[in-house]
Structure 1
Amino acid sequence: MVDQTVCPLDHIHSFLNLPLTQDVLVHEHQENWVNNLFDGSLRLLDMCSVAKDALIHTKECTRELQSIISRRGGGLELTAEAKKFLTSSKVVKKAISKALTNLKGNTKNCNIIATNNDHQTMTLINLLQDVEVATLSTFETILQFISGTTPLKSNTWLSISKLIQPKRVSCSLVAEESEFAQVDVALQSFVFSKTSKLEVNDLQTILEKMESCIQDFEEGLEFLFRRLIKIRVSILNILNH
């Protein structure tokens, strides 16, 4: 189990509430690095929204498949719905691919240059910049997992678990494929394979496993989204003080 300790973003929120931090932001509010900081908070929210939308879309398609299996058990209707799922999956992957391309450009924009080189300012900039880069990297891993590109290995899970605590995501950490990729492969086999046809019961088991993973991820991302909102609101309140 993941320790239910404080999310690192909560530490950032607390840090932003320190009088010294607020003094620096107010004093430097017209500097480009402050604008970049505010823009960075929006970039993080955008990436979180992309991940949430992908999960919602996939969950809806998954439940349609499960509903047909429960009612019919198989047949042409299930095959047609499986094809719809695969088509929908391509749409999700395309959206994620576009988001990841934008993410690479956004990561380059995270490099903040300040004209004021005093120690307090540089310490604040370095801390907030490091958090943004690390969080964007975490979103990249999550999106790759959802798209079926990369499974969650134990060495990459730590950074994710720190952000989406206290929810533990019940996804495979050492599998060669993510749950999302496993479903795609299973449906391809169910629809198109002539020699190794997947049994409906096996398909149902795979779908249930992915739905559980989606549910946990949704809760974790909602946890993260709320904290990103708190940080953005804190920055806005400080700058409008």
Structure 2
Amino acid sequence: MATSPSSTSLQYQFRSISLPSRLHPHNTRIDVELNKLKTGQSSLVSSTVPTSGETIRTGLVGLAGLYSCVEELVHSPITQAALVQHRNGVLVEEALEGSIGFLDSCNAARDLLLVMKQNVQDLQSVLRRKGGDSSIDGNITAYKSSQKKVKKESAKCIRALKKMEKQNDLCSIFDVNYHLSDVIRVLREVRIVTISVLRFFFLFLSMVDSRPRPSGWSLIKMIAVTQLKGHKSFNEIGSVDAALQSLYGCIRNNDPNSDVQITRRRLGALGDSMEGLETGLDCLYRQLVRNRVSLLNILAQ
């Protein structure tokens, strides 16, 4: 059976690399950071358990560290000279254009996290004050409605990243010297892994399974992310959804055995996860801004 374009893209996306060490003293660090991120992203695809918020946070922080290494490379005089001289800086302009898309994705991600954090805090407040009282069913419904909007916006962000992935990757590496060809290769690999890390962030928010199916790569919406030994397994968001569904059913059926504490614990875990993701996003966003400023300074020289 022929390989689908999306399958080929993801296979390339998670390919391990080994860049030549002649590039720059910091090249070894770039190589190591890239391969760590690619290995992590590949494990998310093949994993049989749902992806946790902590795993996503680790990817965001690792990506920020990678951009820090790239910034040191970009500050190298030989790199700056090569970037400016090649086609009057077209490579820098292309990298700047890509950075706008990544900053937009980070801003969208932060907005969605703020919405989710507020949703969690509102429900926590209601459960503390009213427990399992029947009057909270409206609050549960409001939470579900807001979460649907988060998933819808996450899907839009995933499509935007997919569009970036399909766009031509930087300029050709033909007819350039060794150093510049390696710089282009680094920027290309960084772009690919950035799209991957951000995509998994939005997949986490929307509870979408990104694992391969026999027919190729697809995004399958599901609440139960996987089935282990007959038990449904959830990420933090799905865990709260399941608890709220159970609590809502108990309230509607006037069941006195509803366990509000389970819901409160899961909301607490989700709140902690959101805090971690926010920290990781802030770390990445700051580094993306620094990287963009460095590129702008090159053009200004």
Alpha-carbon distance in 1 for matches of 2:105, 2:129: 37
The question of whether the paired residues in 2 share the 8 Å contact of 1:82 and 1:191 is answered with yes
Alpha-carbon distance in 1 for matches of 2:258, 2:176: 63
Alpha-carbon distance in 1 for matches of 2:88, 2:153: 35
Q: State yes or no: 1:76 paired with 2:134.
A: yes
Counterpart of 1:40 in structure 2 is 98
Counterpart of 2:282 in structure 1 is 222
Q: Bigger shift: 72-81 or 18-27?
A: 72-81
Give the partner amino acid of 1:73: G
Alpha-carbon distance in 2 for matches of 1:181, 1:29: 50
Counterparts of 1:77-226 in structure 2 under 5 Å?
Answer: 77-109=135-167, 111-114=169-172, 116-150=175-209, 176-192=233-249, 198-226=258-286
The question of whether the paired residues in 2 share the 8 Å contact of 1:96 and 1:147 is answered with yes
Alpha-carbon distance in 1 for matches of 2:202, 2:285: 15
Offset, 1:207: 0.2
Alpha-carbon distance in 1 for matches of 2:295, 2:81: 12
Alpha-carbon distance in 1 for matches of 2:262, 2:127: 11
Alpha-carbon distance in 1 for matches of 2:270, 2:114: 12
Give the partner amino acid of 2:120: T
Give the partner amino acid of 1:56: L
* Aligned residue pairs, count: 218
The question of whether the paired residues in 2 share the 8 Å contact of 1:59 and 1:211 is answered with yes
The question of whether the paired residues in 2 share the 8 Å contact of 1:150 and 1:178 is answered with no
Write out per-residue CA displacement over residues 91-117 of structure 1, whole angstroms, 9 at most, x where no aligned residue: 000000011011111012251223642
Alpha-carbon distance in 2 for matches of 1:192, 1:32: 59
Counterparts of 1:18-57 in structure 2 under 5 Å?
Answer: 18-28=76-86, 30=88, 32-57=90-115
Alpha-carbon distance in 2 for matches of 1:50, 1:198: 36
The question of whether the paired residues in 1 share the 8 Å contact of 2:84 and 2:92 is answered with no
SS of the equivalent of 2:289 reads: helix
Distance 1:215 1:75, change over 3 A: same
SS of the equivalent of 1:30 reads: helix
Offset, 1:150: 4.4
TM-score scaled by structure 1?
Answer: 0.81
The question of whether the paired residues in 1 share the 8 Å contact of 2:113 and 2:278 is answered with yes
Offset, 1:25: 1.8
SS of the equivalent of 1:112 reads: coil
Structure 2 unpaired stretches of 5+: 1-53, 211-227
Structure 1 unpaired stretches of 5+: 152-173
Aligned residues: CA RMSD: 2.6
The structure with the largest strand share of the pair is 2
The question of whether the paired residues in 2 share the 8 Å contact of 1:148 and 1:179 is answered with no
Counterpart of 2:222 in structure 1 is none
Alpha-carbon distance in 1 for matches of 2:293, 2:195: 19
TM-score scaled by structure 2?
Answer: 0.66
The question of whether the paired residues in 1 share the 8 Å contact of 2:132 and 2:258 is answered with no
Offset, 1:217: 1.0
Distance 1:12 1:73, change over 3 A: same
Write out per-residue CA displacement over residues 144-197 of structure 1, whole angstroms, 9 at most, x where no aligned residue: 11222249xxxxxxxxxxxxxxxxxxxxxx993210111122222322466797
The question of whether the paired residues in 2 share the 8 Å contact of 1:150 and 1:177 is answered with no
The question of whether the paired residues in 2 share the 8 Å contact of 1:68 and 1:77 is answered with no
SS of the equivalent of 1:202 reads: helix
